[in-house]
Structure 1
């Protein structure tokens, strides 16, 4: 599939999705959000794709925010609809994918960019990364899940400060907050993410999918995460991956998971 604003490339079990609007610092507009949805959906349905990496083109930005020109004139109803559609189409969609998603944050991740990174299953940043939610400086609040995911990841107090001040934090501060898992030099960012992907791909893709579902359940209102875990644990016993994994362990060999 061809896109106007993104690139999607598959290599050795990894699909790398690159937001490709460098002149706009990879800002998210409606078309880009739609294309990202389609690319993530396609990669998730591809049985050969075991890990998805999302990054931005160039050396300045992962995603420097939303394209403000698209919604500066919106009214209350239009603003609410924008947030609801965006969350459903991209941010909640990415969070709940069965395929692991790594955000390779190469520079600015602001507003919708940070919200996209937080929707991914975990984040790795380059040393020059700057992250923040500047929406209150525009008279609005984060609308793509930012108020919820940031507080879940870094805690209420730090989330409140970042949102209220509309300021940026650097890569090392993001690491100390637990907002990102690793900080590496920019030239080695994708290679580092690919090395993590390689470790992930050694394991059962079926079990990983169930683990994503169980972990996410802890953050959903009205859902008992322990019950989700119990069911997911039991379901694993009916998979070919479980049979292969336990047999390989008992036979003292490396498992060759069929992904079923």
Structure 2
């Protein structure tokens, strides 16, 4: 599929999706959200893709927020629909993919950009990264999952402060908060993400998909995460990856998982 706002590359089991609107600091508009949906969906369905990396083009921004010009004149109904559609197409969609998603935050990750990073399964950042949810400075609140995922990652008090003050934090503070997993120099960001992807790819992609489902269940209302874990654990025993993994262990060799 041809895209206007994103770039995709596939190499050695990794699909890298790059948001490519550098003149807009990679801000998310409706077309970009749709393209990201299709890009993530295609990567998740590609049996050769074991890990997805999401990043932004250039050296200034991962995603510097949403494209405010698109919704400045919206009413209540339109605003509600905007948030609901965004959750469906991108943010909830990414969180629930079976293929692990690493956000490589290469600069500003504000508003919808930070929300996209938080919807990813984990995050790494360059030393120049800045993160925040500035929506209250516009008379809004985060609408793409920020009020839910930020407290899950950094705790209620810190999330309240970040959202109420609408201020940015730097990469080291984000690391201290637990918002990101690693901080590296900008020129090392994608190589480091690829190194982490390589470690992931040594393991069973089927098991990883089931682990994602079980972990996410802990954060969903009405879900008993322990029960989901039990079910997903049991399903692992019916996979070819389980047979290969246990056989390789007993034979004292490296597993060659078929991904089934």
How many residues align structurally? 260
Q: Which runs of 4+ in 1 moved over 3 A?
A: none
**Alignment partner, residue 250 of structure 1:** 250
1:240 aligns with 2:240: yes
Q: How much has 1:208 moved relative to structure 2?
A: 0.2
**Alignment partner, residue 103 of structure 2:** 103
Alpha carbon RMSD of aligned pairs, Å? Answer: 0.2
Q: How much has 1:237 moved relative to structure 2?
A: 0.3
Matches within 5 A, 1:41-80: 41-80=41-80
Matches within 5 A, 1:1-260: 1-260=1-260
- Give distance in 2, aligned partners of 1:38 and 1:232: 27
Q: Deviations over 1:174-215 (max 9, x none)?
A: 000000000000001000000000000000000000000000
For 1:153, what is the secondary structure of its paired residue? helix
- Give distance in 2, aligned partners of 1:7 and 1:167: 30
- Give distance in 2, aligned partners of 1:231 and 1:222: 16
Q: How much has 1:53 moved relative to structure 2?
A: 0.0
- Give distance in 1, aligned partners of 2:117 and 2:9: 19
For 2:62, what is the secondary structure of its paired residue? strand
- Give distance in 2, aligned partners of 1:223 and 1:104: 30
Q: How much has 1:161 moved relative to structure 2?
A: 0.1
For 1:118, what is the secondary structure of its paired residue? helix
For 2:102, what is the secondary structure of its paired residue? strand
**Alignment gaps of 5+ in structure 2:** none
- Give distance in 2, aligned partners of 1:158 and 1:230: 33
- Give distance in 1, aligned partners of 2:131 and 2:6: 21
For 1:42, what is the secondary structure of its paired residue? helix
- Give distance in 2, aligned partners of 1:137 and 1:109: 16
- Give distance in 2, aligned partners of 1:231 and 1:122: 24
**Alignment gaps of 5+ in structure 1:** none
Q: Deviations over 1:70-109 (max 9, x none)?
A: 0000000000000000011100000000000000000000
- Give distance in 1, aligned partners of 2:152 and 2:80: 22
For 1:200, what is the secondary structure of its paired residue? helix
State the TM-score, normalized to the length of structure 2. Answer: 1.00
- Give distance in 2, aligned partners of 1:157 and 1:93: 27
- Give distance in 1, aligned partners of 2:3 and 2:40: 13
- Give distance in 2, aligned partners of 1:237 and 1:6: 38
